[in-house]
Structure 1
């Protein structure tokens, strides 16, 4: 569903292994009478964990792209490694304590179907680590990539010169990850991060403190723009709830561990998106713009706002799931009118 994913690959080491090896025993062998796997290196554990996750048919949708990447993520956390370090260090031996931690997490992941990020209380976006728990959705927004790719030095892709952005609003901030990424992308900006959930803001506060951005990020509780009444911004970013009723009825088990309010976008998925588009008109400064993620709701958005000049942006892993609209265009953006007697 989301982006900013960690795509860690693994490969075997060319070095010869020592003839004597430790044998790691799992609490739940995959088949009766099957010998316990021989696990020594990071590569061994990633390969074993990926096979277990694949056989168990877990849903991978929380910051990793496949069972191998998820296995590498968990092994890396047990070894206190950044995801980018796992592959280069694949031949490193895993201490017994870390090995037990890995095997425990894998069995817990399969038994509970909780997202891996909740098991280790960590997820990465754009290389940065964030604390997460069940009070917030696991961060996986495509907006993080767009902050890097469309607000940099490339004049063709650039939506706005980052040096001129001084006021940013992150609506539905959750864990605060996008607000923190925005503070990194726009060094001259202060950021307001708003959410309706007090629990989510507690998590966001922890992340803001861990990244030492208390002087630049202000947290606000409230219902969308009500949390920042009267303020105007150069940039508004939002990754709001956008799952429609059909999608809510078929959420995978892993997603049920996350806050329902972080998903539920109403019958067609865009209840909050409509309010964001309509409210942004009075909260954007001249020359500003709205960057909003809507998942697969592009058809619903275009139906609701047929005359809106929306710029749909692609990322490495998405097509048309995030739109940009500038303040001048937004001022003329009106929702579709329905004939009397129609819904």
Structure 2
């Protein structure tokens, strides 16, 4: 039987084949793209070391046998093993920011990325007034890096329990030349931050429920479970953040926590608390905001 790499000759051939197979295989797209076409373009252009924003000039280019073998191997891993494209390419994007990723960290995805583009306006009047900020559960360091760009006068701490994740974060911080502004700390939530207080704390913590993990698409099983699962209601880490958050905020400081689709679980767990929910361009009520004073009132 003729091998795949002998049948598909041009970039156009490989792209058509990949889109068809992605759809046929029922792949899940939740790690940077939301459809088969965009993900196939990303994977093919990366595999050929071509610019990710220049497809048209190369569509009818004939590929060498070595290039075709490279694409065959990449596409087989994406289809057969359900490996997210971000892990195959070793990169993920939040807006214009590129980050190195591998299986030691979850693939960056956060509603915070959109909000940080505007310096958390209107919840913060002046980003330049933020002197200290914390990214709790930093993973790859992506949000700490975005915070460093948004709050240029701030000393940023990025905290994670996983030493493997922090190794990836160090690589990303170094690639952006932010070693003087971003400090990475190994800590189990706030346990290693005694005495530290911040004007702003953001967190995109683990919040997947144990029930949801049983039905989660196979692509997510390549990610570290430590960064995903947080108990039966997904709120194990959120509880610790709320209980300890006030003692790590300066007067007037703000805490923002992303919980994805679990807003209803948060409100069910604390029905007496008037949470302020923030809308991002791509999602409503995915992040809640609380001031230090509100934390003292409801969780002290």
TM-score (norm 2): 0.91
Q: Deviations over 1:37-58 (max 9, x none)?
A: 45245xx543332222111111
Alignment check: 8 A CA contact 1:308 1:330 kept = no
Tell me what 1:17 maps to.
none
* Mapping for residues 8-19 of structure 1, pairs under 5 Å: none
Task: Please show how residues 181-200 of structure 1 align to structure 2 within 5 Å.
Answer: 181-200=146-165
Q: Distance in 1 between matches of 2:137 and 2:243?
A: 16
Residues 119 and 127 in structure 2, CA contact (< 8 A), matched pair in contact too: no
Cα distance change of structure 1 residues 228 and 52 upon mapping to structure 2, 3 Å threshold = same
Check the 8 A contact 2:10/2:61 in 1, yes or no.
no
Gap regions ≥5 residues in structure 1 = 1-23, 30-35, 336-343
Aligned-pair CA distance for 1:69: 1.8
Distance change in 2, residues 1:160/1:288 (3 Å): farther
168 and 98 in structure 1: CA distance in 2 versus 1, 3 angstrom threshold:
farther
Pairing partner for 1:56 from 22, 25, 38: 25
Partner residue in 2 for 1:76: 45
Q: Does 1:93 align with 2:45?
A: no
1:257-268 to structure 2, matched below 5 A, reads 257-268=222-233
**Greater mean deviation of Cα atoms: 297-306 or 180-189:** 297-306
Q: Give me the whole-angstrom Cα distance separating, in 2, the residues matched to 1:81 and 1:254.
A: 25
Residues 1-343 of structure 1 mapped to structure 2, 5 A cutoff:
26=4, 36-37=7-8, 39-41=10-12, 44-81=13-50, 83=52, 85-86=53-54, 91=59, 93=61, 95-96=63-64, 97-149=66-118, 151-152=120-121, 157-334=122-299
Question: Does the CA-based 8 Å contact 2:47-2:74 persist in structure 1?
Answer: no
Superposed CA RMSD in Å reads 2.3
Alpha-carbon distance, 1:89 to partner: 5.1
In 2, Cα distance between equivalents of 1:299 and 1:229: 32
For 1:314 and 1:172, the matched residues in 2 are separated by 21
* Aligned 8 A contact 2:11 2:58 in 1: no
1:111 to 1:165, Cα distance in 2 relative to 1, 3 A = same
Note the residue ranges of structure 2 that are not aligned, 5 or more in a row: none
Q: Is the 8 A contact 1:179 1:191 kept in 2?
A: yes
Q: Quick one: distance in 1 between partners of 2:130 and 2:56?
A: 37
- Range with bigger deviation, 133-142 or 306-315: 306-315
Contact 1:122 1:132 in 2 (8 A): yes
3-state DSSP of counterpart to 1:282: helix
TM-score calculated relative to the size of structure 1:
0.80
Aligned to 1:20: none
Deviation at 1:306, TM superposition (A): 2.3
**1:269 counterpart SS class:** coil
Please say if residues 25 and 37 of structure 1, whose CA atoms lie closer than 8 Å, have aligned partners that are also in contact: no
Name which one, 1 or 2, has greater alpha-carbon Rg: 1
